[in-house]
Homo-oligomer: A and B are copies of this chain.
């Protein structure tokens, strides 16, 4: 189930310490201008290296294997890969015995009956999101003029993100964060009832990103405390513009043309330098785990560009479906 999309279909593959990771993007309209360089800005934003992110440094140079001819998409699937280079697999040996709390070590071992590649979390690694960002670059071209912007609005419960990071680093601990994403001036009428509402498509993709614990659209969880008279967004013109935007640009699962707004909650990285008292599955007793590999203090720092990418991917698929079916409007 490593593919998503009805027409614009994204398939990711690869393991953190395998030969390569990559993505196949099918259903690309032909004629989009595309070159390796187009992937660099977003892939660079995703990269680690700044304060609070892992010291693993991948050059992450994308290689286009298919789907592009003389500078344009050619209608065939676009495949982009990057080689894994900076691998220290020995860091991960012990996690078969003592699976890291909060991590996929235990579930991936169970799921694949012991055959999963657990080095660097294998296929469960955040590294697999590289392919999402690459696909997002193409999806943004299809999403067209709509500007998609995601940013980290808090970390460790604080809007002073720098300070929260310093504290967590000092303690060898990690922190979570909240990312907000806004799509300016989206097309009206994106989203397919009943089961492929805008929120369904987007949340499906968002919860494929490791470490996400929640998503809310517009007023989100606050809506549960509100009255209808407070929450409703009155229309103020014939194009559907509303005075307020509690709905986050979505009514009945369909974009109403106002800005799309949503937030996602990112948990703190589960790999931490702090000692943890947990079960040793090989020895059959409680044990002390101290994780020593290279990890992000706050994985949320690297996520805005990934959230933008999945937003663009959802929009691209919904745009192409809508074009296909609703011929009277398109």
Contacts and interface: CB of A to CB of B under 8 A. Distances in A.
A225 B286 CA distance: 28
Contacts of A267: 219, 223-224, 226, 231, 246
A174 B101 CA distance: 42
A208 interface: yes
Nearest to A98: B235
A61 interface: no
Contacts of A108: 75, 252, 254
Contact of A279 (B112, B174, B237, B284): B237
A222 B121 CA distance: 25
Nearest 10 A/B pairs, CB to CB: A104-B252, A157-B225, A324-B324, A214-B216, A1-B196, A76-B123, A174-B228, A75-B112, A199-B207, A1-B192
9 contacts: A99-B235, A102-B228, A104-B252, A176-B226, A214-B221, A216-B221, A231-B270, A234-B277, A236-B279
A77 to B, nearest CB: 4
Interface size of A as a range: 35 or more
A304 interface: no
Contacts of A121: 252
A29 B102 contact: no
Contacts of A124: 193, 252-253
A34 to B, nearest CB: 11
Contact of A29 (B18, B276, B328): B328
Nearest to A174: B228
Contact of A193 (B123, B200, B276): B123
Given A1-B27, A203-B200, A229-B272, A7 B63 contact: no
Given A13-B77, A15-B66, A171-B227, 20 more contacts: A1-B195, A3-B11, A3-B195, A6-B7, A11-B77, A14-B76, A18-B66, A76-B122, A101-B234, A106-B256, A110-B256, A124-B252, A195-B204, A203-B203, A213-B217, A214-B223, A228-B271, A231-B270, A323-B330, A324-B325
